[in-house]
Structure 1
């Protein structure tokens, strides 16, 4: 069947108003979602929407047209406020000025109500890494991040930690056989998962197109700083929530996100946000979507799907490795650190963006990794209001990727790995342990934010 050809004149002839953006939006929507339909059918569909647009508000396919016909999104250049919203910086002396200035810019957004910067903070796109921002009735796609739902997951096994050294080759082979990394590695056999039954894969056009990619990448990890590790878990808090005796255990720790699904969702809705809320140059990547609009609501649904998909990927990774181990975990701890949540802040519901920041509400467990040669920590949040109930998501970079490649060598990395008894599979110079801040210093700068329940020391690390 021939590809649909639609002109603005066609819509004017059936009664669409020339004022505003409804014609361009309608053409974009129809050409994207109904490009194989006959023109007369498409025009009839458009007539039906025009006659009763309220009926189609919230519709995944044509909701944007209905919204523009009833309550059009008003686009105008936005200006930053002269004053910043209230904020707190933790471990300020260890954070570069560029990251602080990125937070300062975000705090001047008209939607900003409060902010914080964690002690692992460093510069990023839009919000700095380690940045937390509470906004009113709006979500910032780049405030969530490109890797939506990037998260940590730790499984603790009742297997002696000494096995990692005594049977090292066995565990190395497990990681090589049962983990996949980067844009091209996928599992030959994809496990079924309920995530693929979600209605968002049918109702949201942008997400619908990503179904096959999401399906093929289930149980895989991204590149960059993403990893799967065997290591030693040491439980130090006798009152731990797992009811696990103090001691050392074998653990599996993974760090990854929502893969191509999340990246493409972020790209699409960031473009829409920039179109709908134009900002001055230094704030361009902080463009937001109003949660009272079709696009804002759609992004919120897509973001939550991507977050749940990221969780599904981790569970698949741990399931495969658990099967290879022939054991069930005693406990599992996991948390997002690139996401947005609706939370009560100072008595009102706000959207709390955590970009490279760990949720740390009172009693909530999380994982803060160090580096491939430094321990990570199992933590319990204290619910500190000044940090917007957040903590760091890791040690944080002290060298940019470019700087690490320019100044470090493979010899430097091998020396560090040998000193710490770590076996590395893959991994680039930009992920060298020396590229990261001292995790112990970072933890000492957030004693008000989290309590330490235990630690995880990497021993066998796989990266892209």
Structure 2
């Protein structure tokens, strides 16, 4: 393995940045944001940038930030534990009905998705009365959540139980895909929903208050941090760990409901979860790198330790990949979490026509309306170029192409 696999950027007054971005566009603002993070005094060795890197709030999406003695809540973000789950079924492409509209409709009925806010009305993206299986799953998280709420009462009045097993909005999705052998996979993308957002927002603001209280000047207010050894550090690590567990469970509950919905529409009996992967890509965890114990924050990055399975999705009209990590130490055993945006949501709505969206999603049973153009394929980097740029981080195990896509 040679150093030519990544681009090396020296940062004045900070640690270097190693970027796996050969052949993919990187916005200048993303470069600037990475450099600001690299100047924080507690960064360990270097910052790693994945090929899907683009501007985020506080920290760049597609970045791996290792720290010693501190944690930056905005480097995790507010969709704590956001990630992917994929499961191979025993179905083949020929087992699916000719019209896939009924399957898409069944999935949409089985999993609350999107968001609707009206006076006195229930949000369609949450459960009105959570089903017994959701209530039972919530019980595995409830005691720890009550402990968090005892310390921080503001977290109690959030969408927690009512969001477990729900999809959300934005780039979250549920897909039926075919692999290189025409086998059917179920793949989905979501995180810790309303409760995770509340936890992330609360602690980001708390960190900013601490910085002001201690008169600590930052290159960006969103890089506010908690030093290890403080109460707020311990509280945040506890809360973020809980939210990550909620996110993983959220994906498992959605997967169970999607499988049940498909069994209601497909007459042929089938097995599911023959090969299953459930991985975060917005999270913080304790790991050992270069012989030292550090906190690793991955914001839009997936753990790719040797043999670790991961998922790298494309856009709603592109291929996705089930991958196996190659354990590259220079990336802190990480890879990209997707294709990465080249247009903001606002830009996509201005620059991409409905006709272009229809052409780019041809052959996929999905939303074809103007309300989803912010998620259209050309708002994202080409997934093939992203995969080529990280050939020394992961190996491709399966190549998937969606035939049904449900968006929030």
Aligned counterpart for 2:271 among listed residues 325, 328, 337: 328
Deviations 1:225-274 (A, max 9, x none): 1111111133xxxxxxxxxxxx3311111111100111000111111111
Distance 2:351 2:261 in 1: 39
Alignment of 1:336-351 (within 5 A): 336-351=280-295
Distance 1:204 1:255 in 2: 26
Deviation for aligned residue 1:281? 5.8
Deviations 1:58-114 (A, max 9, x none): xxxxxxxxxxxxxxxxxxxxxxx9522133111155211211211111011011112
Deviation for aligned residue 1:179? 1.8
Alignment of 1:231-310 (within 5 A): 231-234=177-180, 247-278=181-212, 280=217, 282-310=219-247
Partner residue, 1:450: 394
Specify the SS of the correspondent of 1:296. helix
Distance 2:169 2:296 in 1: 27
Q: Normalising by structure 1, what TM-score?
A: 0.76
CA contact (8 A) 1:200 1:207 kept: no
Distance 2:332 2:158 in 1: 37
CA contact (8 A) 2:196 2:243 kept: yes
Partner residue, 1:13: none
Q: Which has the larger radius of gyration?
A: 1
CA contact (8 A) 1:202 1:208 kept: no
CA contact (8 A) 1:360 1:389 kept: yes
Q: 4+ residue stretches of structure 1 with deviation over 6 A?
A: none
Deviations 1:379-404 (A, max 9, x none): 01111111111111000111111111
Specify the SS of the correspondent of 2:34. helix
Distance 2:110 2:389 in 1: 37
Alignment of 1:411-450 (within 5 A): 411-418=355-362, 421-425=363-367, 428-450=372-394
Distance 1:401 1:202 in 2: 36
Distance 1:285 1:423 in 2: 39
Aligned residues: CA RMSD = 1.9
In the alignment, structure 1 segments of 5+ residues that lack a partner are 1-80, 235-246
Q: Normalising by structure 2, what TM-score?
A: 0.86
Deviation for aligned residue 1:194? 4.0
Change (3 A) 1:210 1:458: farther
Partner residue, 2:55: 123
Specify the SS of the correspondent of 1:309. helix
Distance 1:145 1:217 in 2: 18
Q: In the alignment, does 2:135 pair up with 1:192?
A: yes
Distance 1:257 1:177 in 2: 20
**Which is bigger in relative contact order (C-alpha 8 A, separation at least 6)?**
2
Partner residue, 2:40: 109
Aligned counterpart for 2:95 among listed residues 163, 187, 191: 163
CA contact (8 A) 2:111 2:254 kept: yes
Deviation for aligned residue 1:172? 1.8
